[in-house]
Amino acid sequence: MSDTDLGARSERGSDYADLSRLVRGAGLLDRRPGRYAMRITVLLGCLGVVGVMFVRLGQSWWQTATAATAAVLFAQLAFLGHDAGHRQIFRSRLANDVVGLICGNLLTGISYGWWVDKHNRHHAHPNTEGGA
């Protein structure tokens, strides 16, 4: 590796450090427990409404709308599990894991432990084919 390569890499590292400071200074990486409390409450409420609609509609073509709504809600559950896997919801690892297990294993059918391991390997080797 030449000195030129090291200089270019050093400049890129400096750019990243500057960006990282800017992002942290703006509070973009801070936990927002109130936001998550509201998100969880609304999500559970919506799932309850969809469940009631599913039962009340019975054998009807309106079930298609119920299924589409449920699909969006389950995708939101997966995003919530993702945030729990990144330890962004609570300070406590245990609390994040409980939310992750409920969202993953119980409600969306994906192994939370497997996903966290695979996702962490992905973050350790981003944009590497076969790295995660």
The tens digit of pLDDT for each residue in 44-53 reads: 999 999 999 9
As a whole number of angstroms, the distance between CA 65 and CA 108 comes to 19
Q: How many CB atoms lie within 10 A of CB 126?
A: 8
Using the 8-state DSSP alphabet, how is residue 128 labeled? -
According to the model, what pLDDT value does residue 79 have? 96
Query: For the whole model, what pTM was predicted?
Result: 0.75
Inform me whether the pLDDT recorded for 107 exceeds 90: yes
Average pLDDT over residues 68-85: 96
Sign of CA dihedral 41, 43, 44, 49: positive
According to the model, what pLDDT value does residue 122 have? 86
Average pLDDT over residues 46-70: 95
Inform me whether the pLDDT recorded for 36 exceeds 60: yes
Q: Are 95 and 63 in contact (CB under 8 A)?
A: no
If 0-12 CB within 10 Å is exposed, 13-18 middle and 19+ buried, where does residue 90 land?
middle
